Amino acid sequence: MKILKYFCLILFLIFFSRCDQFHSTSSPGDKLTNQLINRVSKKLAKNYNLTVSAVGGSVDELGIKSIILIYRHYGAALNVEKARIIMVNMIEEYLNEINNDEKLRTYLKNYPFTTSNLILSLISFNDDGETHVDPDLVTISIEKDYLSYQTKDPNNPYNYKDSFTEKYADALKIVRNSGELLLDKSNF
């Protein structure tokens, strides 16, 4: 559980040191962004049996630069194959929702919004609320077009034991070729 606290603290510090938080101003772009984040986060949490842990993003004078999402997964451990399927489907659904929102489109810094604009993480816990340990995955995340998978060292709760990274394009191709690429996959 302590590793989760440190992981969340690090993400929190990175978030506030690298980007502006979406503010609750009266700007139409801010309102649309907040509505989309709330709607899609709830939908993804329900579809994939996840709990939303944190949501945020960054904007500048040119528009919305990124969206940040952190989810918690409780239950059976995830291996790389199952985690890849969940993450790719979540990412594709999120990008689809963002890019098909015509009202929001004018406020995006980059259209179409891509994986370069998303920071999405999934932290995996067992049914008792403890993070999974090696060989099971504890965190899966995408940032800057790469998916990364980590396992937690069972002998040192502050360290990852193993890490694997792959290009998102390669993961998308694997999921697509397996026939598991769906925009509404509710059996996870």
At 126-155, the pLDDT tens digits run: 999 999 999 999 999 998 899 999 999 999
Tokens 């559980």 belong to residue: 1
At 76-119, the pLDDT tens digits run: 999 999 999 999 999 998 899 999 999 999 999 999 999 999 99
8 Å CB contact between 32 and 101: yes
pLDDT for 151: 94
Distances (CA, A) of 168 to 28, 78, 154: 32, 18, 28
Instruction: Provide the token pair at 117.
Output: 């604009």
Instruction: Provide the token pair at 148.
Output: 């990364």
Using pLDDT thresholds of 50, 70 and 90, give the confidence band for residue 29. Answer: confident
Beta strands per DSSP E along the chain: 50-60, 63-74, 118-125, 137-143, 146-152, 160-167
- C-alpha span between 160 and 133 (Å, rounded): 9
- C-alpha span between 153 and 59 (Å, rounded): 36
Using pLDDT thresholds of 50, 70 and 90, give the confidence band for residue 3. Answer: low
pLDDT for 71: 93
Provide, rounded to the nearest whole percent, the portion of the chain with pLDDT above 70.
83
- C-alpha span between 101 and 80 (Å, rounded): 31
Determine which helix (DSSP H) or strand (DSSP E) holds 139, and give its type and residue range.
Answer: strand 137-143
The pTM score is 0.79
8 Å CB contact between 175 and 181: yes
Domain ranges of the chain: 2-178
